[in-house]
A = this chain, B = another copy of it.
Amino acid sequence: MRPVAVVGVGKTPFGAFPDLDIRSLAVQAGERCLANAHLQPSLIESFYLGNFAGPAFVGQNHLAPYVSTALGIQGVPATRVEAACASSGSAFFHAWTEVAAGVYDLVMVVGVEKMTSQPTARVTEILASAGDLTGEIRAGSTFASLFAMIARRHMYVFGTKREHLAAVAVKNHAAGALNPDAHMRKPITLEQALAGKPIADPLNLYDCSLISDGAAAVILAPLERASELTDKPVRVLGIGQASDYVALDQKEDITTFPAVCRAASTAYRMAGVTPEEIEFAELHDCFTIAEIIASEDLGFVKRGCGGPYAMEGHSSLTGGRPINASGGLKSKGHPVGATGVGQIYDLVQQIRGEAGPRQVARHSLGLAENLGGSGATCVVSILGAA
Contacts and interface: CB of A to CB of B under 8 A. Distances in A.
Interface of A: 1, 21, 23, 47, 52-53, 55-56, 58-66, 68-69, 73-84, 90, 93-94, 97-98, 101-103, 126, 129-134, 241-246, 250, 258-259, 262, 372-373, 376-377
B53 A82 contact: no
Given A62-B82, A62-B129, A101-B103, 5 more contacts: A59-B129, A74-B243, A77-B243, A80-B82, A97-B98
B64 A377 contact: yes
A81 B94 CA distance: 11
Contacts of A66: 132, 246, 376
From A61, A258, A373, residue with most partner B Cβ within 10 Å: A61
Q: Which 4 A-B pairs have the closest CB atoms?
A: A101-B101, A78-B243, A61-B129, A65-B376
B244 A65 contact: yes
Given A55-B56, A81-B80, A101-B103, A65 B243 contact: yes
A83 B64 contact: yes
A83 B69 CA distance: 14
A242 B90 contact: no
A55 B58 contact: no
Given A94-B94, A103-B97, A376 B62 contact: yes
A243 B75 contact: yes
From A64, A93, A130, residue with most partner B Cβ within 10 Å: A64
B133 A75 contact: no
A66 B63 CA distance: 22
Contacts of A65: 83, 243-246, 372-373, 376-377
A259 to B, nearest CB: 7
A270 B132 CA distance: 41
A130 to B, nearest CB: 4
A267 to B, nearest CB: 12
A77 B243 CA distance: 6
Contacts of A58: 133
Given A93-B77, A101-B101, A69 B244 contact: yes
Contacts of A61: 52-53, 56, 82, 84, 129-130
